[in-house]
Every structure is written in C-alpha cells, then in structure tokens.
Chain A
Amino acid sequence: MSAQKINIPMLGVFLGVVAAAAAGLLAGVQGLTAERIEANKKAAISLAMNQVLPAYDNEPMTETNTFACARGWKVTFYTARKDGQIVGYAGKVDNTDDGFSGTVSLIVGLDADGSVASIASNGMTNSAVIVTAQTETPGLGTAIAERKLQKTITDLFGGSEEIPGLVGNKYLDWYAGKKAGEERWAIVKDGEKVNGKTGATITSTAVCEAVYAVSKTAVEHLDELSKGAE
C-alpha cells in the first residue's frame, strides 16, 4: 500500500465518474417513474375526494381556496359543483401538530353550509371524514382514525365480495352533520355515540380539533367559498 503512489486527482476523477454514472442512472429512472408517482399522488387525493363529496360534474381539484385557520394550519377547500350549483366542499388539512406520535392529515366533506356531510353507505350513516395520514399507536390511536375493513380467513376462502364505499368507524362517524360554532367540540367517551376512546385521548382530541378547524374555517369563509375560486 505504502509503496503504491497515490494520485489524488485521479481518485477525485474516479469518484466523479462513478457519481456521474449514478446520477445519470437515477435521472433515467426518475424519468420513467415521475409521471406514475405524480398520478398515484393525484389518484390518492381524488379517491378520497370521491368518497367524501356528493356527486359532482366539475373538477374540484382545479377549484380550490386556501385559508389559514385559528390554529395556524392551512385548510384547502375543493369546491364540488353540479350543474353549476355548489353541492359541497372537501376541506383538506395536512400535518396538524397534535397527534400522539406525529401529525394527522385528514380530508372532510362539507355540505354547502359548512357542516360535516353525512354519507349513507351500506345501510349506515357515515360522516365524510377520512384520515389520510397518521402515525398513531397501532390498534389504539388507529382505531379512531382508520376506516379499514378487517378481512378474516373465512372471507379469503369464502370469496365474499368487496363492498365499495366508506367503511364505518364509530369515532369518525360521530362528526356526521356537526357544524362548528363558537364552542370547540367536546370529547365524548361514554354512551352510544362517541368520538373519543379511553387510552387514546390525544389522538381523539387531535382528530376532533382538525375536523373542527376545517368546519370552522369553512363557516367563517363561507362568503368567499360560495363565490368560487379566484
């Protein structure tokens, strides 16, 4: 090793060549996948949009308004129209800072007056609230936020069909029809209708605050919203 003369510029050039080759390869792969990644992201949003909004015939993705809410979060509203009339909004808030182990992002369907929309699906009344991203404790915090159908082994072999539409979640469905007033919504833990769970108070509160913020912002800015996007 010591006998070998080390040519430092040569080493730099070698490293540069390797790095350049890597960069070229990456650029190629990115060119191949970029379109699909973008499409995936769009599809994820529009899938959630379709679930929380009533039937519409415009493109809500292009008709948006963004307002800051009292907590400082940015709430983006997508306006849904049918025959030119506003039928509802989808309010999206990302990365609220109060989850138990990270942030919570959700999308809420609102009626034209700013109250949380109710959706009838599979014979149940669900609220138009979907938590799009969360990192809560599995089985505890996630029970509040997830709309997930548990598959069982009998389904796998019995071949039961997939049911489209929203999966019920009693904690999220509590918000159906609620409209934000001056008072914050309380966390209800006992009884038939609940929005909070013992042992997961922080997640319950985080979701409640975020839904409230969306509804509240919509109510405050209803005039601007009803004029449509700028």
Chain B
Amino acid sequence: MSLAKEFSKGIWKENPVLVLLLGMCPTLGVTSSATNGLGMGVATLFVLMCSNMVISLMRNIVPKKIRIPVYIVVIATFVTIVDMLMQAYAPATLYNALGLFIPLIVVNCIVLGRAEAFASKNGIVKSLADGLGMGLGFTLALVALGGTREFLAGGTLFQIKMIPAWTTDFMLPTSAAGAFIILGLFLAAKNAQAIRKAKREGKAYTPPGLDCRSCNICDMDK
C-alpha cells in the first residue's frame, strides 16, 4: 500500500472507533463535549505516533518473547509524558475533565493494536503515517461524537452556545446512556454508508477483517 493509503485508511475506511471498535472506554467516557473529545484525541494521537515510531525502530532487535512487555513500557512512558505535559501546559479545565482517562491511554487497544499489528512489521515512515492516520481518525470520531452529544444536550459546541434561545438542557445525550445511544447511531450510519457503497459497486458487503489475519498476538494461523 502506498504511504497516502496507510495514512488515509485510519481516517475513514478503517476508522478505529467507527469500524474497528477499538478504544471504547475513552470513546464513551470522555466525549461529553467536543472539547473533551478533541483533548483526548490529540493526546492519543501523540502517544500513538510516538509509540509507533519507537516500536518500528526497535522492531528488529526486540526478542519476540518479551515484545508485549516492551511495547507496554514504551507506551506507558509516552502516556506519562503526555500526562505531565498536559498538567503543565493544557488548560486546567481540560486536564480536570480528562484527568482520569489520560493514564488509561496505556490500555487503549488502538495504541497496542497498532504497535502489534502494524509498527512491529513496517518501517518507520509507514508506521508514522499509520499512527497519524489512526490518531486523526480517532480524534475526528471523538470530536464528532462529543460535538453531537454536546449539541443535542444544550445547543452548544466547544462550550459556545450556538442557539441562544435553547435554554433547557436535555441531559440524556451527555449521560452515560446517551453515549451508548449516540455511538450506536454513529455505527449504524457508518455501516449503512459502507453497505450502500458496496451495493453501488456491485459487491457484497463484508465487514473489515477483525480476525486473525490482522493480528499476530498468538501464532494461531501460522
């Protein structure tokens, strides 16, 4: 695949949230507003690019037996760096809102998933493109989700009232239940689009492979 394709697949075709369904914890947990979604997305993007880069550099010297611990150490390091940087330089309100979820980027499946499935097999430039694309896809999905939830709740976007006449807040979309409902609607829309596209091209719709082909954590199929 070309570099541009590696980059763009994460944004739409293999979007980590809407297609691969990875990283659901931050997706559902922090997207009560567009700002929170953006903050979480950018933090994950940073970690993803750094970890992809380092793991791609190390891919030939890491012994296979201990690659998972090594990846976790690398990811955890970058997450801690992000945590400290945000505490020092990000607005206090953003850090307070995301505080609990920043350390949880360590266990975000997207980061370890890309390290294992992509960066450990590809060169540094490709890995960077993959990390950037996946991170951007994640960020866009989170901002869209957060923006939708925020807007449906009170007509605000990025904490700015878009419709001044909207005075009664409707709290369902910003509640935890609302997160699941809106995410479900997003997934339905994405699937409907993919099915329609496949139909137009005269192909049968197959969901993107989430099976052993795209994963090499175990040696099942080898």
Determine the chain B residues whose CB is within 8 A of the CB of A11 once the complex forms: 63, 65-66
* Chain B: minimal CB distance from A159 (Å): 13
Q: CB of B96 within 8 A of chain A?
A: yes
Determine the chain A residues whose CB is within 8 A of the CB of B92 once the complex forms: 40, 44
Determine the chain A residues whose CB is within 8 A of the CB of B70 once the complex forms: 14-15, 18
CB-based nearest B residue for A4:
B64
In the complex, A37→B66 CA distance in Å?
Answer: 35
Assess A139 versus B81: contact at CB under 8 Å? Given A11-B63, A44-B92, A152-B164.
Answer: no
Chain B residues numbered 55-73 whose CB sits less than 8 Å from any CB in chain A: 62-66, 69-70, 73
Determine the chain A residues whose CB is within 8 A of the CB of B159 once the complex forms: 151
Chain B interface helix/strand/loop/mixed: helix
* Chain B: minimal CB distance from A105 (Å): 11
Determine the chain A residues whose CB is within 8 A of the CB of B169 once the complex forms: 139
**B88, A33: Cβ atoms closer than 8 Å:** yes
Q: Count A/B pairs, Cβ under 8 Å.
A: 76
Determine the chain A residues whose CB is within 8 A of the CB of B44 once the complex forms: none
**A14, B161: Cβ atoms closer than 8 Å:** no
**B65, A29: Cβ atoms closer than 8 Å:** no
Interface size on B, residues (CB 8 A): 34
Determine the chain B residues whose CB is within 8 A of the CB of A3 once the complex forms: none
Chain A interface helix/strand/loop/mixed: helix
Q: CB of A1 within 8 A of chain B?
A: yes
With most chain B CB atoms within 10 A of its CB, the pick from A150, A154, A155 is A150
Q: CB of A19 within 8 A of chain B?
A: yes
* Chain B: minimal CB distance from A131 (Å): 12
Chain A residues numbered 159-204 whose CB sits less than 8 Å from any CB in chain B: none
CB-based nearest B residue for A17:
B70
Chain A residues numbered 35-50 whose CB sits less than 8 Å from any CB in chain B: 36-37, 40, 44
Which residues on A are within 8 Å of B, measured CB to CB?
1, 6, 10-11, 14-15, 18-19, 22, 25-26, 29-30, 33, 36-37, 40, 44, 133, 137-140, 150-156
What are 11 A-B contacts defined by CB distance under 8 Å?
A18-B70, A22-B76, A25-B77, A26-B81, A29-B81, A29-B85, A33-B85, A37-B84, A133-B96, A152-B160, A153-B160
